[in-house]
Structure formats: structure tokens, C-alpha cells
Structure 1
């Protein structure tokens, strides 16, 4: 059965000095995700330019902010994405991967996969493919504690591995780094999901198995068939909802995602 989501986002930030901002909050249109309604309002005195997101998934907006940036996003999304049994999926030998996936095997700023190779061999030796992916996701879920305020913009998967605490992006970074260390292509995904506590932009992992990407939320807060994808990338660098080339201060921010029915949509 398809999942229907209603999404409402409001952003309000102070900008002490004029700054360029890259905004990425619109749900993406994909074969498994239909945008039934969508509206993005940005209050700006300067022109706004749109560009494609990483891998051509989703859309980013360039804008110039002076004193303040305010944006309101509303969308209704239908998701028809089958949830695969992760453990049953076969691995793809790295030598058989297309070139576009190689970057998702390599270390990145927040996911230093090479630093986890010894741990993965020692802890999960003998596993491969979906069995390995499932074991890694379960390990992250069981050994991490979700706790706001324990990480920041400098926190990498190594820091999260040591502290065993963090928020959704830290769970995603750690699972992605472990998967890459296990020779499974992995990327980070920004998404909207119902039931996220506290309500906010959500980050999950996506692993390449049996010729396609599979969403995995190691926090356990959302299922693959109810995630509305916004953006994909190597790590938080690529999927941040807002990248500010300057400084900004939070005035107000709300993210609300609700399951709906076709009848409720009118």
C-alpha cells in the first residue's frame, strides 16, 4: 500500500552579514515517490536560482540573504516503495560496480570508512551482502544511544563510534562508514518521515545491494516505505538542508510530517 505524507516546513534565520545560501528542503520526484502538491516560498529581495541535487536527485536553491532568511515549504507526497528483506539480498563484487558508485565505497569527510576496516573484519568476518548490511544496521541500532546535543557539525563517524551517542545524522554516518568498510556502496540520504522524535529533518543511510539502492534507518524511527527522499550524497556535506556561506542565527524552525489518506487530501 502506498504511503501518503503531508509535509510542512518553516525556517526563520537571522543573517548578520549578507550571505549566499544553498537551500535543500524540497522532496524529490523519483520513480518511487510522487509529488502530488508542492509549494516553496522564500522571502528574498534578490533573484533565486535552482540547480539539481547530487545524482540529479532533488533540487537546491541558491539565494542571497540580507538580515534574515525566511522560507515555507508545503508538500503532499505519495510513496510507493517496496520494503525489501535486507538480509536476503546478495552482494555485488566491487569490480562489477559502475563508475558512478565508486565514490560511495571511498572515505569521505564524515565517513572515514578506511578506519573501520579492521573492526568490520574482526566483528563481522564471514558475512557479505545483505547479511552483512543487516548485521551492521542492527549493531549501530543496538550500540548507539539517540541523544540530542552530543554531536555537532564537526562530528564524524569515528567520534560517534567512540561516544556511542548522537542524532540521526550520526547514526547514518556510522552505518555508511561501516558499510563502505565492508565493500558495500553506501550513501547518506536526507528525508522526511512521520514519527521522528523530535520532529526534524531526518537522515538515513542507503546501501547498494542486488543492483539497486535500499534505504536503512538505523535509528529505527522510520521504515523505508515511508521515507520521502530530499537529497542523497557522500555524507552530510552533500545533504544538508541549508549551507550558509557566512553566518546565521536560528530564530525559528519547525518540521511537521504527517501520514494522511487520499480522502483527507480532498
Structure 2
């Protein structure tokens, strides 16, 4: 599948501010970037640096004034997919070193607090079958509601409140997977089918020595997303991180099938 992307950001920076931007589709083997262009205003400083685990690029800006950013891209998706319920887990002692960080609790994913819950609810299942059951449980028990969470909401709050947005669904999926000794990470993506259209978030789980996409919201799927970047949770892969005052005027994300 080919995906067309258009993103427009309009923010004000009243004072000189350091900004870390990550909105471009990553150039990685599972997706081919056919065309891409980003318009940025003249900044006091500009630098590209690798994203988390060298997936995607981040852009450092030092900027003051009206920040208008327009990104357009076309991406062809060629991602490995499978019936996740049929996949086997990798025993922890056989996990590659780079996956170990995705077994551990992180800011929004306190997996150590979910051990007993996950065992009680899903202990009769293993590997991909357990992941599929947890994905379906989240879809059935958590309501997708725009504006129902904030930048401080973690997986525990989502589990208790039973509502959230895509990042909350991803955080809860990641937390439950890690509590099951299955590496899981957060992926910031552009997705076909996401309503309302915006930056989207999904989980990725490590099964049979491959990372597989899991979208617990049910809105998109592995072959219908373009990955921007990955991290332990949303804190690692925010589309815009500011070290100073930033005021949002508008934000538009459009993702369509090419």
C-alpha cells in the first residue's frame, strides 16, 4: 500500500526556544519513502540527529516567532505481517540485547504494577495468543474518547478510568506485554483509518524474533501505517518537544491512500 501524508503545524514561540521535532516518515526497510519534503522557517539553529534506536530523524531547532512547518510525503509499505495469535514468545534469556530495555517499566508504562493482574486475567495463554487476548481486552474495555487524557496520563490511569486516546491504548498494551515478559515498544505513526485524523500511536511487540505492530484501537493495521519513530513510551517519540513556552495555533494531519 502507498500512503500520502500532509502535516501542517502552526505554533508561536514568544522567546528564543529549543525545539525537538519528529514528524517525518522514517526511512527503514519495512517502508520505502518515495517522496518527502519539509518546509521550515529560517531558524537560529538547525540540526538533524538520529531518532531513538536510530529509527527516523529528529530535528533540533532554535527558534523565536511564528513557527510554521509543512511536511508532505508518500510512503510505500512493505511490512512483515502475521496472525499474531500464532506466534511464539522468545524466552527472556534468548532475547537480543537491544530488546531488553523494552522489557522494563518506563514513565508511562509501569509494567511492574501489572504482574498479578496480567497473570490472573491471561495466565492461561502464552506468546502471541496472550498478546492477541490483551489487545482484544483493551479494545472491548477501554473507550476511545478524544481529549479524555493529557500529557501526564499513564497506563495505570487508563486501566482505572477505561477511556483514552491512541497513546493511552498503546501504553496499556505495552504495559501488559512487558508484564508478560514480552518486549514491547511505542511507535509514533501515520495511519490510514484514524479518526479524527492526527498523529497516531501503536504498540510493537517482539515475537518470533520480529517486531509486530499491534493497534489496540482497531483503527489501523500494520500494512496501513507509516512509522515515524519508536521509543519506550510516548516521552521518547513526541512529535514536538519544547524547552520553553510554545503556543499552538493550529495543527493539521492528513493521511490518505495514494
- Work out whether 1:113 is the aligned partner of 2:132: no
Task: Give the corresponding residue for 1:264.
Answer: none
Match of 1:133 among 124, 131, 137: 131
Conserved 8 A contact 1:44-1:64: no
Match of 2:223 in 1: 225
Identify the residue that residue 86 of structure 1 maps to in structure 2.
84
In 1, distance between residues paired with 2:103 and 2:49?
A: 26
Question: Which residue pairs with 2:210 in the alignment?
Answer: 212
The root-mean-square deviation of aligned C-alpha atoms, in Å, is 0.8
CA distance in 2, matches of 1:84, 1:69: 41
Deviation of the 1:148 alpha carbon? 1.3
- Matched with 1:67 is 65
Q: Is the deviation greater in 170-179 or in 67-76?
A: 67-76
Matched ranges for 1:234-249 at <5 A: 234-249=232-247
CA shift for structure 1 position 144 = 0.6
Shift of the alpha carbon at 1:164? 0.5
- C-alpha deviation, 1:142, in angstroms: 0.8
Instruction: Quote the offset at 1:147 in angstroms.
Output: 0.4
* Structure 2 contact 90–207 (Cα < 8 Å) conserved: yes
Q: Give runs of ≥4 in structure 1 deviating > 2 Å.
A: none
How far residue 126 of structure 1 moved from its aligned partner, in angstroms, is 2.1
Q: Which SS does the other structure have where 2:146 is aligned?
A: coil
Q: TM-score, normalised by structure 2?
A: 0.98
- Give unmatched runs, 5+ long, in structure 1: 261-266
Q: CA deviation at 1:223?
A: 1.0
Match of 1:192 among 171, 182, 190: 190
- 1:45, distance to aligned residue in structure 2 (A): 3.0
Q: After superposition, give the CA deviation of every residue in 1:21-40 in whole Å (9 maximum; x if it has no partner).
A: 00000000111100000001
Secondary structure of the residue that 1:122 maps to in structure 2? Answer: helix
User: Equivalent residues in 2 for 1:21-60 (5 A)?
Assistant: 21-60=19-58
What TM-score do the two structures reach when normalised by structure 1?
Answer: 0.95
What stretches of structure 2 of length at least 5 have no aligned partner?
A: none
**Secondary structure class of the residue paired with 2:195:** coil
